[in-house]
Structure 1
Amino acid sequence: MKQLRRFLDKVKPHFQPGGRLQHFHSVYDGFETFLFTPSTTSTTGVSIHDSIDSKRVMIIVVLSLIPCLLFGMYNVGYQHWLAIGSSTFPFWKLFGYGFCQMFWRIVVSYAVGLGIEFAVAQWRKEEIQEGFLVSGILIPLICPIETPLWMLAVATAFSVIFVKEIFGGTGFNIFNVALVTRAFLFFAYPSQMSGDNVFVATDSVLGLGQGTTVDAFSGATPLGQVATHTGTTLQINNVVGEPLSYWDAFIGLIPGSVGETSVIAILIGAVILLATGIASWRIMVSVFAGGFLMGIVAHYFQTPLYPVSMLDAVQQLTLGGFAFGAVFMATDPVTAARTNAGKYIYGFLIGVIAILIRTYNNGYPEGAMLAILLMNAFAPLIDYCVVQRNIRKRMRRINIKA
């Protein structure tokens, strides 16, 4: 690390005003502050500094997503092996296949997003903002594995430009950047975001796996299967028609977006976020509470017209992107409510609306994405109402004492 520090100090003058690479000062500053904690201090006033800046916070969030990423890579290979009718499941081959599938998706996400961020920072002559460190890994995790790379690039560029940079960059965006990327894909290219085949990779990669050799298989997610279910007995199956258990869904050996299937991996990430104080436990608990309550209500009033209502409350929380959204999306500090009371309201409504959408809308059996985006729009209003209520309470106390 000392050699790297000396190298950065040696080339730094070239990026300072008057240097031959002065136009790339933002790029240099971004790499330097990513690798080392900035040493700048205040010259006036009283200030307290520590080593935890926004880049360090973003890195912790990325680390909390690693369990979902690693398991997602394995599950991509596992679903592929099931689809080709294999009877053996070699761990490293499955994981290697998933790694090869995910590698270029992560590269495209970061290359497009960070490329735009670097360009905008140079144009504005500002520091490079670090928010995309998290969004860049979230985007591949919440999209189906069969999403074409060019679609991923277009959606990422749209989201970074029109949801983030146009509002002023990190800290000013109203909506979650990763969720808008998925929403753009869902509405612009619906055939690539739903259906029986988009959640299972079927092509061969670097000699790992094979092209699909079975005539037919169903890669529909459990929620997709439920939404099209007819009859009185509900049975969720894997890609080759074998019954799935609660344990399969909890572990994550089911079709779905790469990072959203394993509740265990998501809970590990939640522990990291809560232990480090990065995420709000109020929002997280409230989302699950709202979803659980609405799941009970929907199941109690279940009807054949809305098959998803046949799921019990626990299944509603463990299937689809609900748990992932509650832990990693709803808790985004930029787009979420910021008052303590507002966080409870914000999270609870996300949980209720997510289950409400997926239960009573046969055309969209998910719900978490739209619920979070909707409440992103209402988060400022919730905070405003909470603050105004506190002001009125204090004014009444003043009047009573007077």
Structure 2
Amino acid sequence: MSELDSAVEAVLRQRRPDPRCWDIVVEAACGESSSLGADRALVQAGPAIARHADRIAADLRRQQGPFGTAVGHGVSVRALALAGTGDLRALPALHSLAEHGGLPYNRPEARVMAALPAAELVPVMLTRLRRDGDDYHGNTTTLEVLALCGAAAAPAVAEVARRLDMPYAYDAMRVLGRIGPAAAATADRLAAYATGRGPRTSRNHPRRAAWSHWKVSGDPVLALDVCGAAVRSGSASHGLPFLADLGPLAGAHADAVHGLLDSPGAWTRVAAAHAYWRITGDPEPAVPVLLAEVDPDWTGRPAVPVQEAVGLLGEIGTPAAGPAASLLRRILAREERLAHAFDSRRILADEAYVRTLTDALERIAPGAADPVPASRDMARTG
């Protein structure tokens, strides 16, 4: 196995690889010995390659050519790598890629761009929305990124609202809800979806639409009715997250939510624990349910809600979630990354889990989140 292959293998498989491995990956990706493996690792690297930002930015300019207009795989890899570090020098290339069709069409890689300031990223996403027209993956991926931008995505309201009449309505509703009052002009259309009168209403639309209607209008009545009815009817997993967001406003549904803590479905149990705690403020019934779902041997398989349970324990925080601290620290100390994800997205999946674990530990047991032994830490920084 070559030095480059070994370095790529190390950064894909290990949470704390020798920093020299990243040096080798960056040098290969920006040099003559680039490979698909090095490119895939670079896109996922994030802050791990921040110290190489100048090198990557210089190579990005070279890839863009003398007029700064060239687009293609090389430009995309370098622009996304810079974006993942939060470096604004990625933005001109991202604008060009958005205009000419070079941005990623899968959600995990697209979310890398959210490391950039939301106000700077929104114009890039608007350019892409206007270009992609009816392309399914282009629209859903762009809407995913806009949802992460929250209220800063307000300049995109008109373009997002157009998607309410397209197959991407569910994703558009999430964006509008995250934008909030600045999207108030869409309240009537969202209400139509919530009550089954929308042109593309499907099984899942009413709950999301009702939640979005509340977020843009400030009126919780429709959301409480629609999401509460879903919980009472047995389609609980589609209504519980929205009741959780409504919090004490959903007090009338607390008993129905409590009854779902023993549901046979893990996702429903976790969602019910979250909703019950948010509605009542009482963590005692929720913590054991969430803790039972934290499998220390989880491989990253998305069919089970391990990461969600960890994040919710972190939201509950100290002291109620204190019993989770030792388990979370043990999981965080593992050397191997999550094994389930494809190698092309393995770092992204594992780093998201590590962030969830770290944030949860900081809230549950402040100062307990660094699992790296002193000797290993010296190897990383020496």
Alignment TM class, shorter chain as reference = under 0.3
Task: Normalising by structure 2, report the TM-score.
Answer: 0.27
Which protein has the larger Cα radius of gyration, Structure 1 or Structure 2?
A: 1
User: Normalised by the size of structure 1, how large is the TM-score?
Assistant: 0.26
User: Per residue, is there more helix in 1 or in 2?
Assistant: 2
Higher relative contact order (CA 8 A, sep 6+): 1
